[in-house]
Structure 1
């Protein structure tokens, strides 16, 4: 099951980002919820390296610059939450986080569209970056679940699929590295979790290669639809797992 989860991590990083919720569910099923967040983190970093290798030329650095300070705030806040919650509450928290992210995505897709939208003002851009950055930092620290936040933010920015994937790759590589000292300090990463990640490298590589092949064979609309649908499925499954725990 962990090998399947690792392959899905690789696929989500280089192909359809919406599958990123499914590995969270699989890791949280096999391992205690808090421990699963630490065990998954090295796997995510390895998969980030594959994504950077494939899409390093397709990145919007200005967007990452706007997000960076707010992600730091959210990550620190998420680390404080992890210090105080127990395993049962952690699983429920993961489910609630993903439910909220799914609701935001559905709202964005279903709300009435304005025929001639005005470009967002500088204040609106900064406000959106602040909200997305804090939410991404908090959700990635507590549940490795910032994917839906960034999916929504980058899709609202109108990024084509390769720039979307390149920006996501560099964003999560930097954020996941930043999380490592917090996870080590909280006792969530050990030599055992690092060894597990090394053993799973072949599965990560297979998923990453499949993801790259798929993304080059679908158009922009198919890419967006698949990303949102799979985000919703993964979120719903995790919420069900939390509710029945």
Structure 2
């Protein structure tokens, strides 16, 4: 064990933090779903609420990479429908997080992961044209996305379900998601700092140390999106997400 920014960490633990940063970078540049593997790893090491705060600046750093690469492909008509209800969802998630202890917080994260896993499987099997494209659906997805992104940064599958219903091309899908998460993650920062107190100087210094791994992950994500068939990789992520959800409760 060694001391780093007021954290007592082993080299193995620090390696896991860097692996999480690498996964976050990959997820934000197109390999959606792989961040679902990162959430339980941090939660087991640091606890539910603290891990959410530690991961948030990593996500924002990766969001900036994704927005820089895909910013021209965003569809703002769909984003505008999401933001109001997503903001309400973040407020609800903040309130809920203040009511429960860390054990219950992790249980909620686990439930969200299992539900997200089911959503991912349904998305693979369902007729994409059957997913509704209505304002009420956008409001519902925004609300659920806001709650789940505050409780564990787990809104990826929910936003994926909504954006699938818009039938967006691949780059437009990634660009729209990148802008959504950059804006909503920045909106979450004050609640983590002042309400949950899950982000402080020490956690942010650890985030900065992980920045090179986020950047490498982002480059790898761009490479993978261009060259590896989506279907095979998504099923791999689905399987690993199931394992991660089980490990969260051990």
TM-score computed with the length of structure 2 as normaliser = 0.88
Residue 66 of structure 1, aligned match among 54, 60, 81: 81
Q: How far has the Cα of 1:20 moved from its partner? A: 1.4
Whether 1:14 aligns to 2:29 is yes
Higher relative contact order (CA 8 A, sep 6+): 1
Alpha carbons of 1:60 and 1:227: their partners in 2 closer, same or farther (altered >3 Å)?
farther
Where structure 1 has 5 or more consecutive residues not aligned to the other structure, the ranges are none
**What corresponds to 1:233 in structure 2?**
239
What root-mean-square deviation, in Å, do the aligned CA atoms of Structure 1 and Structure 2 show?
Answer: 1.9
- Residue 164 of structure 1 corresponds to which residue in structure 2? 173
2:131·2:165 contact (CA, 8 Å) conserved in 1? no
Distance 1:130 1:69 in 2: 8
Q: How far apart are the structure 1 equivalents of 2:136 and 2:147?
A: 17
Q: 1:177 aligns with which of 177, 186, 207?
A: 186
Q: 2:136 maps to which residue?
A: 127
> Secondary structure of the equivalent of 2:74?
coil
CA separation in 2, counterparts of 1:89 and 1:110?
A: 32
**Counterpart in 1 of 2:13?**
none
Q: Which moved more, 1:153-162 or 1:34-43?
A: 153-162
Give the distance between the partners of 2:30 and 2:144, measured in 1 at CA. 23
Paired with 1:86 and 1:179, the residues of 2 have a C-alpha distance of 20
Matched, 1:223 2:211: no
Paired residue for 1:214, among 224, 234, 246?
A: 224
Task: Report if aligned partners of 2:107, 2:249 keep a CA contact under 8 Å in 1.
Answer: yes
Contact 2:94/2:191, CA 8 A, preserved across alignment: yes
| Contact 1:14–1:208 under 8 Å retained in 2 | yes
State the alpha-carbon separation in 2 of the partners of residues 108 and 52 from structure 1.
25
Residue 187 in 1 paired to residue 174 in 2?
no
Aligned to 1:57: 72
Distance 1:58 1:228 in 2: 26
Q: Secondary structure, in 3 states, of the residue corresponding to 1:81?
A: helix
1-structure distance, mates of 2:52, 2:236: 23
Q: Deviations over 1:87-116 (max 9, x none)?
A: 1111111010111122223234334x49xx
User: Displacement of 1:129 after TM fit?
Assistant: 0.2
User: What SS class does the counterpart of residue 56 from structure 1 fall into?
Assistant: helix
1:149 equivalent in alignment to 2:125: no
Which aligned runs of 4 or more in structure 1 are off by greater than 6 angstroms? none
